Structure 1
Amino acid sequence: MTIRSLVVGGTSGIGYAMACRVAASTAATDTVLISGRTKPADLPHANMEFRPLDASSMRQIKHYTDALKSASPPPKLDLLIMTQGIMTTAPRTEVPGEGIDRKMAIHYYGKQLLIRELLPVLSESARVVIVYDGKLGSPSKLLWEDLDLKTHFTLVRAADHCISMMDAMVQWWAGATASRLGGRPHFVHAFPGTVNTNLLREVVPSYLQGVVRGLGNVFLTAPETCAQRLLDGAERCAVEGAEEGRFWSNIDSKGGLYRNKAVWSEEQLARVSEHTWKLVDATLPAEG
């Protein structure tokens, strides 16, 4: 079978729900590959496959993508979904030997490396969907002299930087793929809203787990509902965007397009992309 869809972070929560929905609507001969730290207890569809990936390590991501591209038959991705995330109150904690804060590596830098390395196997009309926060990013939230927050790290700033730089790179990727013949991928930054996943429970004391679970079932969106809204919205915005000559979208928790999102300047896009690749490439072994 040929791998047509990849969901990184697809082992639980929103990502798992999206992977299951994609698998249910995909031809039996097309594989939906899910990757993350731990294999799910259940892969409910025969065309689902799991491969482990530590998405906090740039070196592990590079090893993973190299192996994926060398497979026979090679993948031809129509859909690349990235939902990997972490909820923690830990201070800046660098990935060993790589010099990038683990939270920022998972939420931002690793996703950019995945896109770059998998770009050769994306189909001409692929959808790249990043589930993080397509709502709150802005150029005004960046400390431009310290984009990776080596010296100005706080949890709030880390979130602001990852969200905002993601906005920038979604627009940068849409421009960077403009010369592809036959079509162009569409890049989506999605805001999931408040979803009933396990992320919050990772920072809640054990004696409150039952309360959190009960409140979540009442007040939060089910992952399956979120998955349907985001997948439908991403496809709708991609079709409409192509008609408008726009190959990036920021979408809300119902799958609707944020039409008031700022368009980043060429200078701003250049600064964010140059910073990103300089930092990421410094972690990778030199190619001989």
Structure 2
Amino acid sequence: MPSFSAVLAANKQNAPKAIRPVAVLVGGTSGCGRGVAEVLAKYAQGNAHIVLVGRSEEAANEIFASFPKPVDGAKYEFVKCDVSSMRNVGIVTRDLASRLDKINYLVLSTGLLSLAGRRPTEDGVDYKIAVHYYSRFKFAHDLAPLLEKASTAGEPTRVLTILDSFMGAPSGVRPDDMTLEKNYSLQNAALVATTYNDGAIAALAKRYPTVSFSHANPGIVNTNAHRDMPFGIKQLTGLVATLISSPITTCGENMVYTLFDPSIPTGAHYRTPKGEDVKGKPNLSDADIEKIWQHSIEICDGK
């Protein structure tokens, strides 16, 4: 397990220096995504094109104000998107595909904590799972050709989804109830989102073999993901997080360690908060992975 000082040293050494990386961070205006954005900007020293996709332009502008000044045509931009709607995600991915030449880093970290029951979206899936999984799949699926362009040029190309690389299991795949209409519970919703992320990166890695896909657990991080909780629980959750969690910048360094590490090959990877391979990860069968792929395409494709 690398120490945090070793992570910092590795990130400084492995940061891309000969290229201008393009980074798209979905959920990059808060929480872990913001931490990753700030760390990427720090190491790029103004020589990067960073796109933050989120809900709040005000938050994005506040983040950009803390970044190094962009140099020689580099830039920072905000794209507004309600990721619970696959139609809205499609609008954003088509826009990005029409004007970006490549993507080196795609970071997916949208999330929330909620005690609400199943809340169907316009796509017929639960709101929480839409945020934690379906939108992430659609961004990765739609933008994969831009990632391939970077890899074809010999540049680093990484997709990182940040959720829970420990919990996913084959029991999260219910062939007769993929959208959890029959078996919904908060626990099942969390298991499905995690398992589908596991399966999706394996399926995507198979179809895009020149791109590296990772699913990382960030550990306990002091974010505002509990913003939608009832007031009392939100206050308690915030207090506990303050006492035992790590800052978002620490999370950002640890996640960027996975993005920058040149020793990580292409394919699908499951990572700890420190950037190590998850041990004892339950493997999904090829049939489970294909079921997740086909279901995800049915929900997300053509939107």
Decide: shared fold, TM above 0.5: yes
Q: Which residue of 2 aligns with 1:52?
A: 80
Deviations 1:178-231 (A, max 9, x none): 2xxxxx11101010111111112431416963x654443331111111111121
Contact 1:3/1:33, CA 8 A, preserved across alignment:
no
Change (3 A) 1:232 1:207: closer
Distance 2:169 2:223 in 1: 26
- Structure 2 residue 93 is the aligned partner of structure 1 residue 70: no
For 1:51 and 1:141, the matched residues in 2 are separated by: 32
Are residue 146 (structure 1) and residue 166 (structure 2) matched?
no
CA-CA distance at 1:157 after TM superposition: 0.7
Contact 1:9/1:83 (<8 A) preserved: yes
Provide the TM-score with structure 1 as the length reference: 0.86
User: How far apart, in 1, do the equivalents of 2:121 and 2:285 lie?
Assistant: 31
- The alpha-carbon deviation at position 48 of structure 1 amounts to 2.8
Please, which of 209, 216, 220 is the counterpart of residue 190 of structure 1?
216
Query: In the alignment, which residue of structure 1 is the partner of 2:10?
Result: none
- Tell me what 1:171 maps to: 202
Specify the code of the residue in structure 1 equivalent to 2:217: F
Identical columns (%): 25
Cα 1:23–1:241 change in 2 (3 A) is closer
Residue aligning to 1:181: none
SS of the aligned residue for 1:70 comes to helix
Residue in 2 aligned with 1:264?
A: 284
User: Is contact 1:15–1:83 with CA below 8 Å preserved after alignment?
Assistant: yes
Higher relative contact order (CA 8 A, sep 6+): 2
Q: Quick one: structure 1 residues 241 and 24, their matched pair in 2 at CA, closer, same or farther if it must change by over 3 Å?
A: closer
1:155 aligns with 2:186: yes
Given that residues 134 and 163 in structure 1 are in contact (C-alpha distance below 8 angstroms), is that contact kept between their aligned partners in structure 2? yes
Over 3 Å counting, the alpha-carbon distance change for 1:199 and 1:134 in structure 2 is same
Report how far residue 259 of structure 1 moved. 3.5
> Any conservation in 2 of the 1:57–1:105 contact (CA below 8 Å)?
yes
Write out per-residue CA displacement over residues 20-58 of structure 1, whole angstroms, 9 at most, x where no aligned residue: 111111253421110111121512124432111111110
Structure 1 gap segments, 5+ residues each: 179-183
CA RMSD of aligned residues (A): 2.0
Gaps of 5+ in 2: 1-19, 70-74
SS of residue paired to 1:149: coil
Alignment size in residue pairs:
268
Contact 2:213 2:267 (C-alpha < 8 Å) held by counterparts? yes
TM-score, length basis structure 2: 0.82
Query: How far apart in 2 are the matches of 1:30 and 1:234?
Result: 15
